[in-house]
Each structure stands twice: as structure tokens, then as C-alpha cells.
């Protein structure tokens, strides 16, 4: 298993988008349960929306992840990521290449799991979701920008106010969203405490 040594500061995400605006897309939709038998997350990206993207071993061209290949920003509907709290779904999206999700709302545990990987999740209204998705469908090569410093989604000269938890926004801006990285940065302090705990040193 490979761990990041240092979390990168994330001030904005810029890239092509994938419109998939259905409501209540759950973790079983994002990654079917049968793929969770693997002992690492390394191959999870291959399985993102697998049962929707493939039929009889062949890609379904109309599925958004197949139609809008190369997109790194997912446009979703309400209650995105509902279902179980397992982290395989965010891992599948991250390893597929998704770096941000714009939705009407999120399942909170899912949003937290995404944030710990550095996947930015912001919310805008349903009307704004529909307008953005419509733009992307007609302009597949155009990029969308999520500006975390200004809390805005930008595209085609438009700027839309977006929202996310302020503590989460600051963690992206400060590069402290990955708790494991924070622990790694204080290895000496952890070692010092460990040496003082008698119950860890039985004789």
C-alpha cells in the first residue's frame, strides 16, 4: 500500500466535466459490492460505475463516464454518495481520475471520505446544476473551474457561488485534509509518546 508523504494545497480544480445528474446515486452504484473483495484500493478506478458502464463486457458509449472520458469534475444531483459509509466508492472515483464533485447535496460521510482523499465536493442549486450540465453536454471540451478561495464555480464567463463546510475548505487550502499525512509529519512526536507508554513495552 502506498501512502502520500505530503498533502498538496488545493486552491482550485480546473478541468473537463462529466454530467451525471441523477439524484440518490449510492455507493453500490459507484462501485458494485463484489469488487470490494480486493485487499487494496489499487484497482478500484477500473470498477467505477462498472455495472452501468459495461454490458456483456463492452462499454456502453452513452454512459457519461464513457462519453466524457478525461473529465475530472463530476456533476451530480442531490444526496450524492448515499448508502454505506465504506470508503471504496470515493477510492474508485479518485483512482478513476475524479478530483472534484459538484452536486446539489451530498451524503455527509461520503463527502468526508472524499475530502480525506483530496476530492473537492461543493454544492450549488438544482437550477445551477441543470444549467452547468446543459453547458457541458453542448461544450464537451470546455473546462470548468472550482475556485475554493472565492467559493465559486466558473465556466463560460459565468461565476456561481458554491458552498462547502468552512473547516473542509480550509483543510484543502492548507493541505491538511489527509489525517494520515498530519500523523506522518509528526513521526518523532508519536515515537516519543510511544516510548513513554509502559503497556507497549512488556518485559
Band (198; pLDDT cuts 50, 70, 90): confident
| Contacting residues for 187 by C-beta, under 8 A, at least 6 apart | none
Q: Which residues pair with 12 in a beta bridge?
A: 147
Grouping H, G, I as helix, E, B as strand and the rest as coil, residue 29 is helix
pLDDT in tens, 42-63: 999 999 999 999 999 999 999 9
Domains present along the chain, CATH in parentheses: 12-176 (3.20.19.10)
CA 108 to chain centre: 12
- Provide the percentage of residues in the chain whose pLDDT is more than 90: 78
The whole-model pTM stands at 0.87
pLDDT, one tens digit per residue, over 61-104 is 999 999 999 999 999 999 999 998 889 999 999 999 999 999 99
pLDDT, mean of residues 142-162: 97
Cβ contacts of 83 within 8 Å, gap of 6 or more: 26, 27, 28, 29, 89, 107, 110
Nearest to 168 by CA among 88, 100, 104, 70: 100
Amino acid at each position: 500500500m502506498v501512502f502520500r508523504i505530503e498533502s498538496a494545497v488545493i486552491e482550485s480544480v480546473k478541468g473537463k466535466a462529466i454530467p451525471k445528474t441523477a439524484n440518490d446515486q449510492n455507493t453500490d452504484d459507484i462501485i458494485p459490492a463484489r469488487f470490494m473483495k480486493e485487499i487494496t484500493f489499487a484497482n478500484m478506478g477500473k470498477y467505477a460505475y462498472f455495472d452501468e458502464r459495461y454490458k456483456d463486457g463492452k462499454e456502453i458509449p452513452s454512459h457519461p463516464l464513457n462519453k466524457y472520458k478525461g473529465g475530472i469534475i463530476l456533476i451530480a444531483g442531490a444526496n450524492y454518495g448515499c448508502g454505506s459509509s465504506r470508503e471504496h466508492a470515493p477510492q474508485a472515483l479518485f483512482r478513476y481520475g475524479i478530483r472534484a464533485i459538484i452536486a446539489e447535496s451530498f451524503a455527509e460521510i461520503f463527502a468526508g471520505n472524499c475530502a480525506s482523499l483530496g476530492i473537492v465536493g461543493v454544492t450549488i442549486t438544482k437550477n445551477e446544476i441543470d444549467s452547468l450540465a446543459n453547458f457541458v453536454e453542448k461544450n464537451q471540451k470546455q473546462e470548468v473551474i472550482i475556485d475554493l478561495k472565492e467559493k465559486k464555480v466558473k465556466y463560460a464567463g459565468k461565476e456561481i457561488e458554491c458552498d462547502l463546510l468552512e473547516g473542509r475548505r480550509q483543510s484543502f487550502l492548507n493541505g491538511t485534509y489527509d489525517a494520515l499525512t498530519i500523523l506522518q509529519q509528526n513521526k518523532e512526536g508519536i515515537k516519543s509518546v510511544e516510548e513513554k507508554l509502559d503497556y507497549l513495552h512488556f518485559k
